[in-house]
Structure 1
Amino acid sequence: MSSSFKFQCQACCSHTQARAGVFSTPHGLVETPRFMPVGTLANVKTVTAAQLQATGAQMVLANTYHLHLQPGEGIVAGAGGLHRFMGWDGPMLTDSGGFQVFSLSKMRKITEEGVTFRSPRDGRLIELTPERSIQIQNTLGADVIMAFDECPPYPCEREVMEASVARTYRWLERCIGAHQRADQALFGIVQGGVYLDLRQQAAASLAQLDLPGYAIGGVSVGEPPELIEKIVKATTPLLPPEKPRYLMGIGTYREMAQAIAAGVDLFDCVIPTRFGRHGAALVQGERWNLRNAQFREDFTPLDASCGCYTCQNFSRAYLCHLVRAKEILGYTLLSIHNLTELVSFTQRIREAILCDRFTTEFAQWLAPAAASV
């Protein structure tokens, strides 16, 4: 790993595996645990880079597959790389396109060589191999890039999952061979579905490769929350403690708190902006529909305890009006709040870990209760 990348653990919880740390990248520090907003097409939907920074976000995601389709990695490189292209000067991560192997299952074909997709834009065939994924990510220029993996659905037969895990490992070896830039950290991804022994085998195999960081993938693809919790608890302890650990696609209060207790450092999810675009707000872990009539004459802030731009300047009544009128500003203001909500949640957990108060201050979310979001 380049000297530009370093993970330092600052404090550990005395009752769980939770830890507070700092992940150093060429574009700055990421204080962990930390929620990372998703900016699939080099933008976090409906918010500007300045608004995003004000939410407390430190690291942002973009997607290899979608940027390859539009505008193309060559145009991004011509702009000076992904950071300059979208006006974000903080750390960035690009997904490999592996999740699209799952989400676009009706439009792709998997072989040992890679995956062939049918473009949803113009119908042309797009071949994405481990080498091609890494080449595109090298060109985009994010700080952290992800190995190209196969993400099977839930449920999945064991024989199919065994073959998928083996293929994901072979693809990882090809990704390592194709990776060309020392200023980008390549993370491997643990797959295995709900089969804990396959997860543990995959984690042990990946750990031997001494990568800059590790991710747990293939969760939140249809399985119930209690299975996600079991997967994370079984897998995380096998990942190297001196490296950052990233749980992909998770963004509810309870799921993040449980994963942090298992030793996970980083999270991402589309929930904040997706909810915002549907007129919903996250308030203390609950989902509120701002279209509801109860908010029409409610002139209090969305959340009086929140310091975001939305809560400091606008009322629930105004947000209700904007959402009912389908004004774009409403979606922006709700997204700003929702992003702040999840980033702040992980920041508060970090502060609690540093003071060894994690289990007492966040007991509500560590208890085995149904998720609120």
Structure 2
Amino acid sequence: MLGLTLLWGCDPKNATKKPVATTTVPTVSSLPTTTALGDYEGSLGGKYPFLLAINFQNDRAELTGIYYYLSQQKPIRLWGFRASDGEIWLREMNPERPDTVAAGWGQAGKTIQPFAYFRLRLTPQSGLVGTWQAAKSGRQLPAQLKPYAASAPVQKAHVSEQTYFGEFTAPQFTVADMKVTQDLYWVFDIEALSEQKLEELREEHRNHESGSYQGYGGIDSRVTYNDRGLLSVALRDEYTAANVNSRFWSVIVDLRTGETLGVDEIDPARKAAFLAACNAKLQQQIATYLDPSAEDSEEQDSTDVAGLRSQRIGPDNPPGDMLLEDGQISFDHSVEYENMSNFTRKIYAQQFRLSFTFAEMGRLLKPQSPLRRLL
């Protein structure tokens, strides 16, 4: 694991400290006629460059967005609104408590939350200008932003990691294209990966703190490819009850569109050839696995031998879980047969991955598939 923790609301290095000022939040009475939606690049105090996107505005003038400092490359979600006078308020969201976004603007009589916020106005040049303030310390810096457009196609993503409740981690990725950065944020959101709500993870953490070794054990991630505008990540998590049960899966993202990629990148006209090639590779792997003369061969139960020999790949049983690595693309065949024990299922997990070289895949992909960048 990467072992990096995102520090939300941290002050840029050496920011000038100012006294905490009482802030009155303006009312939102009507939606301004101009829009602030878009991607921006700018800096704080002319020293700390960052990229920011405002990507959503509803009919109540609420806004959502995302930003990151170029020096840190860690995405920070934003929530806010446009006031009736056109001023834009955006505050950082607590990744562990996103439901608290409406609190803590620093106004009199309310608890000040340790998250920074922006107060901005649109400029005649379609940029934004205003201030950034750390809600906890009161430090302020001038913020100036202009419209941003990427100058070159994305090649790689910057890799970091977010830790939740001091225990559970999820990978995070940023690119210069802010729309794709947001797409990556949600693809690798911990709730999506773990299939659990934040409150459920919080309760799991409490149980672990009390000494329980059971429950959800978290996510391990490994970047297997990150180049040519393609990102591939192998993931694993586990849950401990009477037994330890692990789950393995992969995610591949086109870094130039934010779209996830899978087996549907195979040209429909070449699908039969692809399935036949997968089945041939599978039968070869099974024969090698069952070969009694192999150096690491172990005696096999007759049920398991018959079950492995019955495995086939075809239109009704295609492979899944595509993984991209240097020099190859692989697909997983999940072994399943009658009377297979849970112990044997764990042994076979990820045991039969069907690997294709980039050249082999080139004959099978759709003409416009992003995976053709690998050829």
Q: Which has the higher contact order (CA 8 A, sep 6+)?
A: 1
With structure 2 as the length reference, what TM-score do the two structures score? Answer: 0.24
Structure whose CA Rg is larger: 2
With structure 1 as the length reference, what TM-score do the two structures score? Answer: 0.24
Is the strand fraction higher in 1 or 2? 2
